[in-house]
Amino acid sequence: MLISSLPPVHQEELLRSIIQHPAIEAVRYNTGMSSPYDPYDVIGRILELTKPQGKPLYVDLKGKQLRVAQWATPPYGPIVLNHKISVELPAKVYFRGDDCCELKEVVNGNEIYVDPTPKYPVGKGQSVNIIGKNLKIEGGLLDLDHRYIKAAVDQGVQNFMLSFVEGAADVQELEEAIVRHSRGTIMPDMCQIVFKIESVDGVEFVRSLKERHFSGKSPYRLMAARDDLMIEIGIHAMMDALRLIVQKDSQAICASRLLMGLEQGKVSMADLSDIEYMRSLGFRHFMLSDEISREHASEAAAFWEKYVESRPFVA
């Protein structure tokens, strides 16, 4: 199965073309994106297109993922995060484009100062990774997450992805929110909840689980969210982590860093080799990143359609 991320819903033509493409079997909406519409309208506009196609919609909640809370203009002010943190210094901060800076100070829990100045604009909603000893992130689901959960369950959406799952408490918080916002009409076992594994603690949580947690009629699935995961655990630990994830859940999703050659103009041999290797590990479900979906959706879908014709997946 190929899952595509969706653009902001005001990009109506791109939104429609992704959802209607026959190679795309399901779609994911990243709730961290800025939108001119409230969560209820966002979900409703997507469902108007997915329902006639019979394609599942996954609502991707941000949870403990660190993101920029407002546009930043370093060095003229701090970078404000969506969660308060504590961490031992020295520590590193990774911004988009694998831009790495040294974390110099944390003020008021969620204001960070870095050196050197980031290479690219630090926009609201942009994700960041902080690598350091004893990193603690305060809080879980955000107010916006709760608004999207309510909008989803009110409109019959029961598929959720949860970023940076690191323990049972993260899952329990989401399950309790689903029950509360649906007023008890939707129970967790009626949903599909995808644990996005993106950190050292996330990998250790997976290690503590049994295959039975993801078998049969279990509502749970795992995702190897390879972009953040590689930043957080390092490239040399990736293969063991990927093997672990798909061994625990045979329906696990391999996400991000797929078809990266499209950023240079076309799918590369490295892209093909990557997909083939992930399949050899056991992955049968793949998800395109926000960037590839937004900038190269038609090329990615066209490649996937031909690829599956020549190398069909076994059910």
Write down the domain spans for the chain. Answer: 2-64+139-310, 79-136
Read off the pLDDT of residues 300-312 as tens digits, 9 standing for 90 and up: 999 999 999 999 9
Q: Which of 2, 80, 14, 93 is nearest to 295 (CA)?
A: 14
The CATH number of 2-64+139-310, from 3.40.50.10140, 3.40.1010.10, 3.30.1490.20, 3.20.20.60, is 3.20.20.60
In the numeric block, which tokens belong to residue 64?
């403990």
| Predicted pLDDT at 215 | 92
Scan for tokens 């969560």, then name that residue.
Answer: 39
- CA pair distance 299, 41, nearest whole angstrom: 29
**Helix 226-233 vs helix 200-208: crossing angle, to nearest 10:** 100
Token pair of 269 as six digits: 């041999």
Who's near 109: CB < 8 A, 6+ residues apart? 84, 85, 86, 138
Reported as type and span, the H/E element at residue 30 is strand 26-30
Q: Which residues pair with 114 in a beta bridge?
A: 103
Element (H, E) at 174: helix 168-181
Task: Give the pLDDT of residue 98.
Answer: 80
Residue 268 Ramachandran class (φ > 0 left, ψ -120 to 50 alpha, else beta): beta
SS3 94: strand
- Residue 14: the pLDDT is 96
Which residues have a Cβ under 8 Å from the Cβ of 183 and sit 6 or more positions away? none
pTM, two decimals, is: 0.94
Q: What is the spatial distance between Cα 14 and Cα 292, in angstroms, rounded to a whole number? A: 12
The CA distance from 159 to 157, in Å, is 6
pLDDT of residue 314: 78
Residues in the chain where the model's pLDDT stays below 50? none
Tokens at 185, concatenated: 């009409």
pLDDT of 315 reads: 65
